[in-house]
Amino acid sequence: MKLCCRKLISPARFILQSIQSRNSHVNREDFIPPNLVMAKVNPLLHNVTIQEVPKISDKIPVFRHCVEKLPKNKNAISVWLDNLLHARPQYNSVVQLHPVLFDTHPRMDILHSVVRWQQEYREVDYSWSRTRAEIGRGKKKPWPQKGTGRARHGSSNSPLWVKGGISQGPRGPRASFYELNPNTLLDGLLIALSIKHIQNDLIIIESAQISQDMPDFDEYLENRNLSEASMLLVHAENENISYLEHLAEDSKLLNIMPLYGLNVCSILKHDKLVLSRCILDELEHKVLWHKTRYPWLGSPHNFYIDMPGQDNKQSVDTNTSEPIGETGHM
């Protein structure tokens, strides 16, 4: 048996060549690491000037503090507060965000399950086919049972016949809705909010209620490098957003949504998430209430006694119970 001998490269020489090939592009001006993925705009290639965001120090006044109690192992998150009335960012005030909402470990499996649920729960399959009982023809026997030499048949509506009924076909409408665990839905929302904060795609504005005195909206976007970024603005119910609605009608990149409509798909579909300062307290209160409404589940408990609301029922029963002698009834 003959073997084909080829020229082999020594391991040391192979490692040296691979290192040289990896570092061959480091000295170039447009060097970008191969594992870095930049969204849409690359400032090194397109020569776009991006304003540097200053770091937040302790001397900057805090415009909003966290309402709910913080976990022991985490601190409040400080974010710059922007204003729609200023054409350029001021960087003079800070708001604090709760770490449970904006510092959750991003689990892609939970995020995928929530997105899939949102895409499928409203889908309805309307495809429908007729069975042999719903065919418009009569149910007459096509030919006698014997004597013709042909196979025996009892009706031409059978699925064996052309233009006959369909066996085990679709019988719509059929909904694709299924229930998802409420904790999974809440975790998916917190993961989506945390991802926007980690990727610097979260913007907190002072208020969404503005008048026509607002400067040019295109200038506001250009000064923040948001001209080509799609934005989702979330506002409170008591805010008057009539002027913003007028801007959203003329813009293809701006969408407006109230707080009660906030969902995972809408957050991930847009490049930037803009939250009004007025909704932070309500959002924090609702999320923390859902997170801590069953604190007894993690420890040994009696379901019938420790369940929320049972203490009130027991106190009412003890207060309403009276001796038989006082009421006069047996």
- Determine which of 18-22, 113-117, 148-152, 295-299 has the lowest per-residue pLDDT on average: 18-22
> Which span out of 183-187, 206-210, 292-296 was modeled with the highest average pLDDT?
183-187
Range with the lowest mean pLDDT among 107-121, 154-168, 223-237, 284-298?
284-298
Percent of the chain exceeding pLDDT 90 equals 49
Distances (CA, A) of 127 to 67, 124, 158, 163, 169: 51, 9, 21, 17, 9
| Amino acid 26: pLDDT | 42
SS3 string of the chain?
CCCCCCCCCCHHHHHHHHHHHHHHHCCCCCCCCCCCCCCCCCHHHHCCCCCCCCCCCCCCCEEECCCCCCCCCCCCEEEEEECCCCCCCCCCCEEEECHHHHCCCCCHHHHHHHHHHHHHCCCEECCECCCHHHCCCCCCCCCCCCCCCCCCCCCCCCCCCCCCCCCCCCECCEECCCCCCHHHHHHHHHHHHHHHHHCCCEEEECCCCCCCCCCCHHHHHHHCCCCCCCEEEEECCCCCCHHHHHHHHHCCCEEEEEHHHCCHHHHHHCCEEEEEHHHHHHHHHHHHHHHHCCHHHHCCCCHHHHCCCHHHHHHHHHHHCCCHHHHCCC
Mean pLDDT over 194-218 rounds to: 86
Q: What is the model's pLDDT at position 144?
A: 94
| 18-55 residue pLDDT tens | 555 544 444 444 444 444 444 444 444 444 445 677 78
Strands 202-205 and 77-82: parallel
- Position 306 scores a pLDDT of 64
Q: How confident is the model at residue 268 (pLDDT cuts 50, 70, 90)?
A: very high
Share the mean pLDDT of the chain: 80
CA distance 105 to 102: 9
Q: Is the pTM of this model over 0.75?
A: no
CA–CA separation, 40 vs 253, rounded Å? Answer: 15
Work out the pLDDT band at 269, boundaries 50, 70, 90: very high
Residue type, 130: R
